[in-house]
A and B are shown apart, each in its own frame.
Chain A
Amino acid sequence: MEDQEKKPLLGDRDNGPVVAVPEDDVVLEGCGGTLACDPRRALHKYLILIIMCFLSFGSYFCYDNPAALQDTMLKDLNINESIYMLFYSLYSWPNVILCFFGGFLIDRVFGIRLGAIIFSLFVTAGQVVFALGAFFNLPIVMHIGRFIFGIGGESLCVAQNTYAVSWFKDKELNMVFGLQLSFSRVGSTVNMNIMQPLYDAMKKSFPDQQGYVILGGTLMIGVGFCIASLFCSFALAYFDKRLERILRKEEAKTGEVISLRDIKDFPASVWLMCIICVAYYVAVFPFIGLGLVFFEMKFGLSPSAASACNSVVYIISAGASPLFGFCIDKLGKNIFWVITGVIITLACHACLAFTWINPFVPMVIMGFSYSILASALWPIVAMVVPEHQLGTAYGIMQAVQNLGLAVISMVSGMILDSKGYLVLEVFFLIWLCVALIASVLLYLVDAAKGGHINLSGFQRRKIQKANEEADEKSK
């Protein structure tokens, strides 16, 4: 059993990613009991993983459409900055609550398969409305579109996380989360880089059209990605169902149903993770949002160097998260990695605040520490919350994170404008200290309960093996 488990796993690490991309369509067309299609084989799981990653690609791509076309939108739609900012706030504020309910609905009402499909539909519909609004120069319609898009967007991420746990629990979860993170980054980076050139190209081919018509047309490209993601949600539903049928796996949701009251019985570690999540993320993302001027004015970087420096965290996390995830799968000790990530980020921020060291150094290191933290933190939820409550737990965490980001982004802007970057950096440092204290507490709480989360990879595999043997005996 042990050998069988290990063999395909090692083998696929070499083959999987290389073969996987072109075979994506083949998988969709169905097949028999070949290596790629047998749900018991690891290769099949890795192909599913690719579909899973593409599940939220459309939503990440479209989320940053306004940013990629900011100047164009302001000009073509003749709107001011605050109307433009509404494109984002109409997404983020409702999601402070919505994705919590999204997670709960996944657990309680829809189930994961239907849930993912429904949320994908919302994302696609939202983007269609958004693009049509631009096409007819109706900013209000565009706002409605963003709101519809928002209903689906974050909840889709919750669905994606839940899928990841149900397919990869205990073995490759850190790596899977890392890979999903990296895909989300790729999604927004691709968007940032292609939307403006696409707009310019369309403008060239239809020189007689009004700017907003071209804008609408360009945004329709986003709809294409959303539809691709929608197909992924159907495919995942099919394969998940198939897996259940073939393996005769009992559906985790049957029997036990979560009610809203169960939330208060969530283990303390879930709430600690929410604190870490908020306190850490607010020290990274709002900072990146305000970083450009900081790099230009404090360190004298040219604007292009400053924006490169600003996006280096995203680029590194896209590459490094799956790798770190893979390593953490092998090494275990998730809490240790979380603490490491927080401490390194703390040092980076201190460096930016109190020294004149070239900002590329701390930002690159921050990119790595962020990857470590992100790929170690999210899988912990699956270790402490039973599977039938996972959607809700991820929903809560995402909701708290959204709330934190929305509020702290505003507060950061206010601090910056009244007291400057030094105080702002101190503000972020304080948040990181909170994250550090929460993660140390998480370690203590876990240690008091027997150190289940912070097992090393070796210990975890040993337990797993014992567990499987026990299962076999009972059969």
Chain B
Amino acid sequence: MFMTSSSPLPHSIGVVQLPFLHHMTLSVPATEMGRTLILVSFICVLACNIYGDSTEATRKLSSIQYNPGCENDPICKRVSDSGSAPNLLYAYSVGNDTLHYFFSTVGAPTFLVAKTPGKKQESLNVSWTDFLSVNDTNVKNSVKLPNVNYAFAVVFTKLYEYNDTNDHADFTSIPNDEWNWNIRDFAKQFVWKGLNTTELNNPVTVRTNLSMTNIDESYISFDWKLFGNHDRNTEVPHLEHTINDTQFNFLINNWPTFCEKSRFGLELVMMGTDGVKHMTNIEESKSLDDEYTPGVFTMIDWSTQSKVLASDTDESKQLGGYLQWKPVVYLTEERSSQKQTQAKHYDTMKADHSVIKSMVPMRSLAMAFFGDQLNTMTLNATNISFGLPEDGFYAKSNYTVWSGSIGYGTPPQDEISILVIIVIAVGLGIPVVLIIFGGLIVCIKRRRSGKGENILVNVAGTRYDAIN
């Protein structure tokens, strides 16, 4: 029954469709057909490019390991004096070379990316007793990975809370006294929850609850998502991810504030083994197009190498790490352009290398991984604050989530999508053509009727009389 009825179906479609297509092509004038062809081929070329991009390369992503090498060691089961569980998340992604991704909340939360050549899976060696030690010198070089030819890290060093009495949403205007600031040291003042194996998803979430009240809804958390392909995050701000980067969400949820007009901010330190002691600046790029992140027209790249440097030679182009974000934080779980405020960044620090180095907490994955190598590394620090004047401060939404990409290589740049180009071309092209042709017809008609105005008056006059 089904077999017999289904067989004529494709046939009938073919019969119906062919004359229709035939008719279509006939009705399009030659010149217009040419133009359409050009447009179609243009779109094809564009589409192929994009398609090519996305299949250019992929990496094979490993699953996320939790506290590698410490599964059976009682030291990792034990919570520290503060009540914090040790958290070290590790994954690697294999392509022509291998990228190793780390995220740790042992001490200051740190994202770390390391590159080793070839597909060979280098073995990670964590000396857990030293890594979790309170002795600073022990911590250094307690996390070892052989053959690393590039590594860089972003450390979340401090959480600022400031009393924005004048509602400027700019903490450079806040007087530097203890009444207006509540500065928490990420390395010391937070109690991170441990993970069990069922929580090791991608993205993986690590959170710190408010220790004193233990209200479950009050927490600060990091979501960390790893990628093996080149695409765009499905959630706004829809940051693009390459095969070389990971993305995070930093969420401050229902966190009690020390005053009504509190706003939050972060201090971040970035370091890379670029071999130069230079300090990079944060680069902003503006675009008319906000299709990926509604209501946000700026992209911010903070790289260990400046774009100019990176484009100098092909080889150096592949070096360097970046933190990329859009200057936006969302204020509700359901992210929307009407429920957003600003993630404002400040100038990178203008200070000596040694000063910035001293900002890297001893207890952090960065210190454990780089140790004294930090003395010769590219280093810089910056601040970010969340909020815009008149947005009602943190307390209005009690929810602030900030997203960014951390990766290796050159940060991806947004380009206008074909869809938007088509929408603009068709949506505005058709009316413009109609109006031009309409205008021409009217002009021709008027010229033919000759006297124009005078005729109109006479006709109008008589017509009016006729109505009366």
Contacts and interface: CB of A to CB of B under 8 A. Distances in A.
Indicate the member of A290, A354, A440, A447 with the most B CB atoms within 10 Å.
Answer: A447
Nearest to A453: B460
Given A436-B435, A450-B463, A452-B460, 17 more contacts: A293-B337, A297-B328, A355-B288, A413-B338, A417-B294, A417-B338, A419-B291, A420-B337, A421-B290, A422-B289, A430-B427, A430-B428, A430-B431, A433-B431, A433-B435, A440-B438, A451-B459
Contacts, number: 117
Given A353-B288, A426-B428, A420 B461 contact: no
A470 interface: yes
A429 B428 contact: yes
B175 interface: no
B187 to A, nearest CB: 34
Contacts of B463: 449-450, 452
B428 A420 contact: no
A419 B423 CA distance: 11
Given A423-B420, A436-B435, A467-B468, A429 B427 contact: yes
B442 A419 contact: no
Interface in A219-247: none
17 contacts: A293-B338, A293-B340, A298-B297, A302-B389, A303-B389, A416-B294, A417-B338, A426-B423, A426-B424, A433-B431, A434-B431, A437-B438, A447-B456, A450-B456, A450-B459, A450-B462, A462-B461
A447 B296 CA distance: 47
Nearest to A471: B468
Nearest to A434: B431
Contacts of B434: 433, 437
B110 to A, nearest CB: 31
A394 interface: no
A467 B464 CA distance: 9
Given A293-B338, A419-B420, A298 B460 contact: no
A470 B423 contact: no
Given A436-B435, A466-B461, A293 B295 contact: yes
Contacts of B464: 452, 463, 467
Nearest to B296: A297
B54 to A, nearest CB: 20
Contacts of B338: 290, 293, 413, 416-417
Nearest to A451: B456
A256 to B, nearest CB: 14
A296 to B, nearest CB: 7
Contacts of A426: 420, 423-424, 427-428
A209 interface: no
Interface string A264-286: 00000000000000000000000
Interface in A449-475: 449-452, 455, 459, 462-463, 466-467, 470
A194 interface: no
B204 interface: no
Contact of A294 (B295, B391, B427, B461): B295
B468 A470 contact: yes
A356 B287 CA distance: 10
A440 B435 contact: yes
A418 B417 CA distance: 13
Interface in B389-441: 389-392, 420, 423-424, 427-428, 431-432, 434-435, 438-439
Given A304-B390, A447-B456, A450-B463, A418 B435 contact: no
Given A419-B420, A444-B442, A297 B297 contact: yes
B295 A421 contact: yes
Interface residues of A, number: 45
Contacts of B390: 303-304
B257 interface: no
Contacts of A294: 295
Interface pairs A-B: 3 shortest CB-CB: A433-B431, A420-B290, A420-B294
Nearest to A304: B390
B417 to A, nearest CB: 9
A435 to B, nearest CB: 10
A420 B289 contact: yes
Interface in A370-428: 413, 416-423, 426-427
B423 A423 contact: yes
A420 B293 contact: yes
B465 to A, nearest CB: 8
Contacts of B461: 462-463, 466
A451 B340 CA distance: 51
A440 B291 contact: no
B165 interface: no
Interface in A345-378: 353-356
A470 B433 CA distance: 47
B359 interface: no
B90 to A, nearest CB: 36
A419 B457 CA distance: 50
A46 to B, nearest CB: 27
B336 interface: yes
Nearest to A422: B289
Nearest to A467: B468
A114 B76 CA distance: 83
A421 B390 CA distance: 22
A413 B334 CA distance: 14
B431 A437 contact: yes
Contacts of B224: none
Contacts of B442: 440, 444
A291 to B, nearest CB: 11
B391 A303 contact: yes
Nearest to B431: A433
Contacts of A297: 290, 295-298, 328, 342
B186 interface: no
Residue with the highest number of chain B CB atoms closer than 10 Å, among A422, A427, A467: A422
B349 interface: no
Contact of A419 (B294, B438, B456): B294
B444 to A, nearest CB: 13
A246 to B, nearest CB: 24
A254 to B, nearest CB: 18
B356 interface: no
Contact of A450 (B439, B460, B468): B460
B450 to A, nearest CB: 14
B291 A296 contact: no
Contacts of B465: 466, 470
A418 B424 CA distance: 16
